Homo-oligomer: A and B are copies of this chain.
Amino acid sequence: MQMQPILVPRRLYQAPPPPIARQVETDEIRLIGVTMHVSRDQEVFGEGEPADQVYKVVRGAVRGFRVLSDGRRQICDFYLPGDVFGIEPSDEHRITAEALTDTVLVVARRSALGDESDGAASRRLWALAMNELRRSQDHALTLGRRSASERVANFLVDMAERLGGGENLELPMSRQDIADYLGLTIETVSRTLTQLQVSGMIKMAGCRSIHLRKPRALTELCA
Flag A121-147 by CB within 8 Å of B: 1 or 0 each. Answer: 011001001111110110111011111
Within 8 A of B (CB), among A1-40: 1-11, 13, 17, 20
**Nearest B residue to A21, CB-CB:** B89
Q: Contact partner of A4 among B7, B116, B140, CB < 8 A?
A: B7
The distance in angstroms between the C-alpha atoms of A2 and B136, with both chains bound, is 32
The distance in angstroms between the C-alpha atoms of A13 and B68, with both chains bound, is 10
Q: Indicate how many identical chains form the complex.
A: 2
A95 adjacent to chain B (CB < 8 Å) = yes
Cross-chain contact B69 with A9 (CB below 8 angstroms): yes
Cross-chain contact B145 with A195 (CB below 8 angstroms): no
The distance in angstroms between the C-alpha atoms of A66 and B134, with both chains bound, is 12
- Quote the shortest CB–CB distance from A119 to chain B (angstroms): 5
The interface size of chain A toward B, counting residues with CB under 8 Å, comes to: 59
Q: Contact partner of A76 among B8, B131, B137, B196, CB < 8 A?
A: B137
A96 adjacent to chain B (CB < 8 Å) = no
Q: Contact partner of A136 among B20, B88, B140, B147, CB < 8 A?
A: B140
Cross-chain contact A8 with B7 (CB below 8 angstroms): yes
Q: Contact partner of A131 among B11, B68, B89, CB < 8 A?
A: B89
Residues of B within 8 A of A132 (CB): 133
The distance in angstroms between the C-alpha atoms of A145 and B4, with both chains bound, is 17
Residues of B within 8 A of A2 (CB): 8, 195, 198-199
The distance in angstroms between the C-alpha atoms of A76 and B65, with both chains bound, is 20
- Quote the shortest CB–CB distance from A171 to chain B (angstroms): 19
Residues of B within 8 A of A116 (CB): 116, 119, 122-123
Cross-chain contact A8 with B1 (CB below 8 angstroms): no
15 pairs, A vs B, C-beta closer than 8 Å = A1-B191, A1-B195, A1-B198, A2-B198, A3-B149, A3-B199, A5-B5, A70-B223, A74-B140, A89-B131, A90-B130, A126-B126, A133-B136, A136-B136, A140-B143
The 8 lowest CB-CB distance pairs between A and B, nearest first, are A144-B183, A89-B134, A143-B143, A89-B130, A136-B136, A3-B199, A74-B144, A143-B144
